[in-house]
Copies of this chain bind each other. A is one copy, B any other.
C-alpha cells in the first residue's frame, strides 16, 4: 500500500533537501520546498522572500518573552503576530496537501502538522559537523563567518521555531518514524532506505 506522504525534517547542511528532492523524483511524488513557500506567500499576502526568511526560523528574540508580553497585554501587533499568522497559513496549507496527491514535504513542522495523517512517513536527516561544514562551503561558498557558526545559528533558529509551535524538541527520535545520519550512511543510502520504506 505504501506511504503517500513523506515529510523530511533536516539539519542545515545535512543534504536533507537533496535527499527529499531525489525521493520525490524516484517515487514520482510532488515536491514541496520552494513550491510550499510560494503557496504560503500567495495565501498570506507576503512576498516569497519574506516567507522564506520568517516561515521556518525564529529570530534570536525569545519567543517566550514575546508570548509573555502578548498574553500580558492581551495581544499586540509585532513580530510574533506575523510569525503566528504565517504559521497558521502554513499549517492550513500543509494540512490540506495530502488531499492533492502523494508528496514529499521539506521541513516547516510538517512532521508535526501531519503526525496523524494516514500513510505518512516522517523522516529526520542530520549529520556530524564536519560533513555539514564541508557541504555548505562546497554548495554556498566561503563567507565571512565560519561555517560552524552559520550551521549552529541556522539550526538554533529552527529548534526555537519548532519548539515554539509544536512544543516538541527538534531532533528527538520519537518525533519521526526514522532518523538517518546522512554523513555516516551516505546520501544515496538514505534515499534508498526512504524510497524502499515508502513502497512497502
Binding site for B on A (CB under 8 A): 124, 126, 169, 171-174, 176-181, 184-185, 189, 193, 197, 200
Q: How far is the CA of A113 from the CA of B116 in the complex (A)?
A: 36
From B124, B172, B180, A171 is in contact (CB under 8 Å) with B172
B181 near A178: Cβ-Cβ < 8 Å: yes
CA distance A174 to B126 in the complex (A): 7
The one of B176, B177, B179, B193 in contact with A176, judged by C-beta atoms closer than 8 angstroms, is B179
Q: Which residues of B contact A171 (CB under 8 A)?
A: 172-174
- Whole-angstrom distance between the alpha carbons of A176 and B33 in the complex? 27
The answer to whether A179 touches B184, judged by C-beta atoms less than 8 angstroms apart, is no
Residues of B contacting A172 in the complex (Cβ-Cβ under 8 angstroms): 169, 171-173
